[in-house]
Structure 1
Amino acid sequence: MRQTAGVTVLLWIAAFSLLVWLWLACCHGLFWRTDVRLPPRRPPVRWPRVVVVVPARDEAAVLPVSLPTLLAQKYPGRARVILVDDHSADGTGALAAELRTMDGLELTVTSPPPLPPGWTGKLWALRHGVELAGTDAEYLLLTDADIAHGPDSLAELVAAAEGNGLDLVSQMARLRVETGWERLIVPAFVYFFAQLYPFRRSNRPGSRTAAAAGGCSLVRREALERAGGVAAIRGAVIDDVSLARAVKSSGGRTWLGLAGEVDSVRPYPRLEQLWRMVSRSAYAQLRHSPLLLLGTVLGLALVYLVPPVATVAGLVAGAPPVAVAGGAAWALMAGTYLPMVRYYGQPVAAVLLLPFTASLYLLMTVDSAVQHWRGRGAAWKGRTYSGA
């Protein structure tokens, strides 16, 4: 009798998980598709002035790869680069100055004043760079120091913004997937982000969803000022999403998609490094709410862990309905993950590992909350934002 009752309960849970996956696959903004790329673009009549702002803290290891790609941009209009050395301890500023080229874009290397209370380091550095850009800039390209751009990246971003009346154009850089842990964690990271912020919904005017990718965001200067400037999001740990929300809520049009020629060159060879990348902001994403944390843990378990567990348990217990419900949910999960796996050039069989990867993300999220409760908050490069 107990076994029958237990099988019945598992059947109901598996069936509910299957319904959730049907809704996610069909009614959640087609989040799983990877064809959201830069919208149609054509050269503008006049190329606007652009200033590229690069906040950099202890980035000497990646600058020799990333910074030359910015200085070598083939932009038909006027453009220059401002690298803001955020009080690095590894010679980032001096190295950046050495990377100047005679025939590339003009490069200015500067440092901001000491970090004031209430600001994250990156946003304080961005504010300093934006101020130096002044009214000379019609657009600002906010890009991280680990991001390498194809030679036409800036021109294509500007053409997309000008041709479609966009105030913020952001591309999610293709992250590195060379080590085993990177191949396991990174595609799922982008997949989960798209599930949380479906690109098509974010790009729809009037939609409440708004998101951007901090590694590559071109913003119209007037739109940024209308949104309150960088100061409006001064304490945000998830600064890219906060920027998109500020621009959109002030009447601006935003766009987010996957990149074609924008790549992160930062390596994450060990699980510890990937774990820190996720956990430093996961609880902030949940607005530091224990209830949202509980709901997230239960939701991850229901959506990602129940399907394989129900499939195996149904087969072992000789309960075909349980196995079928679990297997169907698992198949939908794998099917929606497949485009992202292909986008990152990984073998198709990698889709079967998503439940395991999701369990790691569940633990990372819980760890993020634990670190917050211990007063460590969002720690990154020697700084801790306990209130973030």
Structure 2
Amino acid sequence: MSAFAWTAAVSLAAWLWLLLCQGFFWRTDIRLPRREDPDVWPSVCVVVPARDEAAVLPASLPSLLAQDYPGRAEIFLVDDGSSDGTGDLARELARTHGGLPLTVDSPGEPPAGWTGKLWAVRHGIGLARARGPEYLLLTDADIAHAPGSLRELVAAAGTGGFDVVSQMARLRVESVWERLVVPAFVYFFAQLYPFRRIGGERTRTAAAAGGCVLLRAETAERARIPDAIRHAVIDDVALARAVKGGGGRIWLGLAERVDSVRPYPRLHDLWRMVSRSAYAQLRHNPLLLLGTVLGLALVYLVPPVALIAGAAGGDTTAALVGGLAWLVMTGTYVPMLRYYRQPLLLAPLLPFTAFIYLLMTVDSAVQHYRGRGAAWKGRTYARPDAVPDEHAL
């Protein structure tokens, strides 16, 4: 066997391991677990951090106001220094649509060491605690909930004894680039954080989807949420780790009745979404970046290159092994495309999409070292180890 064929064989071995040993990450049947209505419905406060969200609020906020929840529920929208009239629009939508009570407030600019979103969440939780809720629903301003969403989340948490129940909202897939990139985004996330392992009490895997997180209020206070994760750019994963690290039980799965209404029509929009936090996911570590780039190349790029180059150069073994690895890769992507109701012909294009993500990750590191990393809506955040720990002072 040639060196090229051996490299393709390593890629195939990696895919067989991912297929069978990585928590069956490719399956998309992890939906809200068994749930029974409680005798008495617990009180819930919904916290919505919002910064310059006037474009999406008309499609999302009315869905929260219209929640069909049998217990006491209230919404706190925290206007995080918006310049587009987000707060005034939220008040107008509440007057027009009615429904659950809505409070709109603003915490001012975040102090050093806090991301804007978590500072807004902290303010919202502080307002909510005055009502003494049993649960907090942390949801983004671009997330639309079906009428029974809150009821189903609370019932699932109570029935399963979960401290966190989180759903990965179904993202929008309408433009060409959304169809190509968005399903792969969720696929890669599930590969890093297999949903089946997250719910296991004996596993260390922890993650949540920040757009929809139902959190037990007592657990939030015990885990010091959000103060303990105040500088986290990837706040949903940090929240899940803090809860699970303290002995809490978490559940994460795909949503059927929770949708993101935020459009990403151009590649530039999707590029910004991914690159703003990709290097933070690697803890700003150049060695992890190098390993990630090499790993992406080996797992996703080698199979099609081996098939095409092997066939053209007469290396039959490399072509066959590369083709088999590409076939396994394609098969694992099919369930996610079905979940997003996309053409299955997109499945063989996963290597191309992975190459785009590789470039996004490298660009994230470049922007970080240029001082423009982890930037979002006019704010740029320092790497965590550059932030002074207030408890060490």
Normalized against structure 1, the TM-score is what?
A: 0.97
The one-letter code matched in structure 2 to 1:263 is D
How far apart are the structure 2 equivalents of 1:324 and 1:96?
58
Is this contact kept in 2: 1:52–1:143, CA < 8 A? Answer: yes
Cα deviation for residue 346 of structure 1 reads 0.7
- Per the alignment, residue 60 of structure 2 pairs with 66
Cα deviation for residue 229 of structure 1 reads 2.1
How far apart are the structure 2 equivalents of 1:40 and 1:76?
19
Any idea what SS the aligned residue of 1:136 has?
Answer: coil
Seq. identity, %: 70
| 1:143 pairs with 2:135 | no
- Per the alignment, residue 87 of structure 1 pairs with 81
Cα RMSD, aligned residues only: 0.9
Is this contact kept in 2: 1:376–1:386, CA < 8 A? Answer: no
| 1:44 pairs with 2:44 | no
| 1:240 pairs with 2:236 | yes
- Per the alignment, residue 390 of structure 2 pairs with none
Equivalent runs, 1:283-298 vs 2, <5 Å: 283-298=279-294
The one-letter code matched in structure 2 to 1:111 is S
Cα deviation for residue 103 of structure 1 reads 4.4
2:199 to 197, 203, 213: 203
> Where do 4+ consecutive residues of structure 1 move more than 6 Å?
none
Cα deviation for residue 136 of structure 1 reads 1.7
Any idea what SS the aligned residue of 1:100 has?
Answer: helix
Question: What residue ranges of structure 2 are gaps of 5+ in the alignment?
Answer: 385-393
Q: Deviations over 1:92-150 (max 9, x none)?
A: 00000001146400000110133100000000000000000015211000000000000
Is this contact kept in 2: 1:176–1:267, CA < 8 A? Answer: yes
| 1:19 pairs with 2:46 | no
The one-letter code matched in structure 2 to 1:291 is L
Name the CA shift for 1:328/1:362 in 2 (closer, same or farther; >3 Å).
same
| 1:8 pairs with 2:6 | no
Is this contact kept in 2: 1:65–1:148, CA < 8 A? Answer: yes
How far apart are the structure 2 equivalents of 1:328 and 1:61?
46
Q: Deviations over 1:227-275 (max 9, x none)?
A: 1121000000000000000000011000000000000000000111100
Greater alpha carbon shift after TM alignment, 9-18 vs 312-321:
312-321
Equivalent runs, 1:190-269 vs 2, <5 Å: 190-269=186-265
1:122 to 105, 111, 117: 117
- Per the alignment, residue 4 of structure 1 pairs with none
- Per the alignment, residue 3 of structure 1 pairs with none
Question: What residue ranges of structure 1 are gaps of 5+ in the alignment?
Answer: 1-6
Cα deviation for residue 317 of structure 1 reads 1.4
How far apart are the structure 2 equivalents of 1:103 and 1:163?
30
How far apart are the structure 2 equivalents of 1:192 and 1:39?
23
1:77 to 71, 74, 98: 71
Is this contact kept in 1: 2:309–2:319, CA < 8 A? Answer: yes
Is this contact kept in 2: 1:308–1:327, CA < 8 A? Answer: yes
- Per the alignment, residue 337 of structure 1 pairs with 333
Is this contact kept in 2: 1:282–1:365, CA < 8 A? Answer: yes
How far apart are the structure 2 equivalents of 1:311 and 1:32?
23
